A and B are shown apart, each in its own frame.
Chain A
Amino acid sequence: MERSLGKDITATLIVSALLIWLLPMMVATYTLTVLVIYGMLGLSLGLIWGFGGILCFGQAAFFGLGAYTYAIAAINFGESTVPMLLAVLVPLIFAAVLGALMFYGRLTDVYLGVITLVVTLILFKFVNSTAGPQYVIGNARLGGYNGIPGFQTLNVPGNPDAYIWGDPYFYFCAVTLVIVFLLVTWLLRSSFGRVAIGIRENETRMALMGYDVAARKTVLFAIGAAIAGLAGALFANWGEIVTPGLFSLGQSAEIIIWCIVGGLGTRLGPILGAAGLAYLKFMLGQQSLIDNTLITGLILVLFVLFLPKGLVPAVAAPWKASFGRARRRPHARQRRKARHG
């Protein structure tokens, strides 16, 4: 019944090679690059929400943290290799601490939502208020609402003068996304991933089997944050500036919308949702008849009402991860509650 990992990898590689070859013929690589980055960001939330049942209202916090870490480190180091690593590590550690705080406190659902939302707001407000010259990390001024421009962008490791930009940067991002996708695939097929899905389905049962639920959720949460941080660093390189807007609630909302529209409990859904909606937004941005935000909002409302499982599960069953059926967490919770009640 389960398709072998080998087949899955082969299919992924063939399809993505085709896409990476064909898409630049249709859309400018500059636009494609940011779609790929958003795809990775969508995947980061899709992993922890769709497979771990952790609804994070502040995935943008890790995205912004990755971007800022990269920018600050790049200014201080004058090259990009160590900053890229730091941009993954800092959100990872931050999320591990935050996750431990929340999950060992047995916070769930709404409360988890409040805390992640509040932490995002704190970061947003703090970074926004750092315009003064006293806010400096090494040689990098935080710049408040103006953000940080003019940092070293991606270079070939060991050669700070050999920049990777333009078309090569698109290929770099695309290949990175494929690698992350394959790692996520492997993770979900591993015992860790299966246990995570078990926890999404029934925390109490998994604890009664002897699994340390809090520890596992913390680890999964941190992995999601690391992927979001990587996406943030790539975004910083693409935009060549980082601003507090990266931490904004609007950004967090968008990530959630991508996951819902694409489909939770799938690996591909959030990526396609992100790229698709971001592209739609880009197209809509070129007209001024209807406000962009209105359409985004309308899409979210309509999907929650009429297609709560998202597009991918509705259209392409074979792409679903083979372990477990896609389902949003609260439904499973309600059924349990109904039985307990």
Chain B
Amino acid sequence: MAETVLETHGLTMRFGGVTASDNVNFSLKARELRCLIGPNGAGKSTFFKCVTGLLTPTEGQVFMRGQDVTGWQPHQIASLGVGIKTQTPNVMDALSVHENIWLSARRFHDAAEAKARTDTIIDRLALGGIARTELGQLAHGERQRVELGLVAVADPWLVLLDEPAAGMSAQDVDRMTEIIHELTRSAAVVIVEHDMQFIRSIAETVTVFHQGAVLMEDHVDHVMSDPTVRAVYLGKKA
């Protein structure tokens, strides 16, 4: 029986009169890979922000490895060993790839160890050729990869990714899939995603959000063939 690494109880977030996240009960086991899907405005991103500390939920609680982290600051949550990637690339543009990743590694290790780990990750993600290039000069796909790199280098046991495949080329997505699979060897991974292609290729269990609440939670194949899901989400797209 694997340990539960992330759990929410009745998580609710209201903005004025709008309930963006409605009584969400969610639970994730160690080394599980979970995709959160749903149409625009379904509350995926709000849920993500509440879990990562970017927003404080109106009601309900968030637990990580049994620890109540409701209302914690993002840096406190990250310090537990949680890797977070936001929707838009959030990187240090004027710093090089190496420096970006090193800063992440340095948070948990001394300078020498951080450098060694940085070099390893750069090799693993095939970023060697651009290691000394400033992030501001890189293409979108590369920046996304660097951001995954700086999440991975910290050896997290829980990884939260908001739309990692957005705006990437097919080749970039393949590489991203590989990296994520590698991450699941040691960490539970939550992916908020739009791209159905990407979800089919990577997901096992999928949680579907609709109007702020969890609509269903099942294996990806069942979800894809479910008529309700198709109606609220896929149906609109087709």
Contacts and interface: CB of A to CB of B under 8 A. Distances in A.
Q: Would A and B touch once assembled, by the CB under 8 A criterion? A: yes
Interface of A: 1, 191, 194-195, 197-198, 201-202, 204-213, 323-325, 327, 332, 335-336, 339-340
23 contacts: A194-B106, A195-B103, A201-B94, A205-B90, A206-B103, A207-B74, A208-B52, A208-B75, A208-B78, A208-B84, A208-B86, A209-B103, A210-B107, A210-B108, A212-B73, A324-B94, A324-B95, A325-B134, A336-B88, A336-B90, A339-B88, A339-B89, A340-B88
Contacts of B104: 209
Contact of A210 (B89, B95, B154): B154
B74 A324 contact: no
Given A204-B86, A208-B52, A211-B107, A198 B79 contact: no
B97 interface: no
A277 to B, nearest CB: 27
Contacts of B86: 204, 208
A205 B94 contact: no
A339 B166 CA distance: 13
A1 B97 CA distance: 14
A202 B93 contact: yes
Contact of A201 (B74, B85, B93, B106): B93
The 4 residue pairs across chains A and B that have the minimum distance between CB atoms: A210-B78, A201-B92, A210-B79, A207-B75
Contacts, number: 79
Interface of B: 52, 73-75, 78-79, 84-86, 88-95, 99, 102-104, 106-108, 111, 132, 134, 136, 150, 154
A1 B132 contact: yes
A209 B78 contact: yes
A326 to B, nearest CB: 8
Nearest to B110: A191
B75 A202 contact: no
Contact of A195 (B89, B93, B106): B106
A204, A205, A208, A213: residue with the most chain B Cβ atoms closer than 10 Å: A208
A195 B104 CA distance: 9
Nearest to B95: A324
A202 B107 CA distance: 15
Contacts of B99: 194, 198, 323-324
B78 A202 contact: no
B85, B95, B134: residue with the most chain A Cβ atoms closer than 10 Å: B95
